[in-house]
Amino acid sequence: QIPQALAGQHWVITAGPTMEAIDPVRYISNHSSGKMGYALAASAISRGATVTLVSGPVQCTPPAGVNLIKVKSADEMLAACESNMDTPASVFIGAAAVADFKMKTATDQKMKKTSDSDEMQLTLVKNPDIIATLAQDKRANIMVGFAAETQNVIDYAKSKLERKGLDIIIANDVSRADIGFNQDENQVTVITKQTSWEPAKAAKSELANQLVDFICQHSQSTPSN
Ligand code: PMT
């Protein structure tokens, strides 16, 4: 790898979970730790890129030199990405586990138990699809998504590649306890319209380097970039 190969490039990366308020004390979220997204940010910085990391609530230490934007909800994550991608970014990577749904109306006051009922119903509405919105608006030259799946991993990932208008999708089998959410290691299948590639299981930091290299090679072989 040539040192500083990404000098002059702006990469925008999302990481971690989103947190969707139910009321002032409760929320909907998921098990993403942010480790994969933060590792990708560190790798792109080490190669000379300017990196904006839009992060949900996590415990990870941000890499030195990153432009870190902390958000909670999917709406905030989309707004932060858009406001940092007025000029199209070189690469966007959606490593965040965005909650698919949010409360139709989050209440201002703590929801109270009602003594006459053992059930409670919450009405949820779809969150915006951040990566699909950014892809549609051509906010980056190369759009890279992850697909977190527990079954039919490759087929579902391929359909997300098409449906969301992406260049690359990284399929992640999150049914496995040894990789994926909150683990230090990961194993993925990288899928483009032309090829697929399965790097070996590795530490997220090592895998991130391989993924950044793959994205660079893909962007160099894409005529419009
Ligand atoms: O954070 P870690 O603990 O290190 O775990 C890493 C990871 C498992 C979270 C990561 O590798 C991963 O798979 N991230 C994607 C999780 C996810 O939400 O996948 P999805 O299949 O639901 O979404 C597909 C793609 O669309 C993703 O790039 C996601 O960021 C994006 N998306 C999804 C929903 C939505 N409303 N907006 C989005 O942009």
70 vs 46, 100, 176, 185, CA distance in Å? Answer: 21, 19, 28, 24
> Cα separation of 71 and 79, whole Å?
10
Rounded distance from Cα 157 to ligand 1 centre (Å): 11
> Which residue's CA lies nearest to atom 24 of ligand 1?
147
The residue range of the domain holding 26 is 10-103+124-219
Residue 112 lies in a domain: no
> Which residue's CA lies nearest to atom 10 of ligand 1?
95
**Would you call 95 helix, strand, or coil by DSSP?**
coil
Tokens 């990566």 correspond to 131
CATH code of 86's domain: 3.40.50.10300
Per-position pLDDT tens, the chain of length 225:
445 899 999 999 999 999 999 999 999 999 999 999 999 999 999 999 999 999 999 999 999 999 999 999 999 999 999 999 999 999 999 999 999 999 999 889 999 887 788 888 999 999 999 999 999 999 999 999 999 999 999 999 999 999 999 999 999 999 999 999 999 999 999 999 999 999 999 999 999 999 999 999 998 887 654
> Cα separation of 39 and 207, whole Å?
9
Of the candidates 30, 67, 84, 141, the residue annotated as catalytic is 30
Would the CB of 56 count as within 6 Å of ligand 1?
Answer: no
**Would you call 213 helix, strand, or coil by DSSP?**
helix
Residue 108 lies in a domain: no
pTM over 0.90: yes
Q: Is 141 a catalytic residue?
A: no
Q: Are 97 and 16 in contact (CB under 8 A)?
A: yes
Rounded distance from Cα 118 to ligand 1 centre (Å): 33
Q: Are 100 and 127 in contact (CB under 8 A)?
A: yes
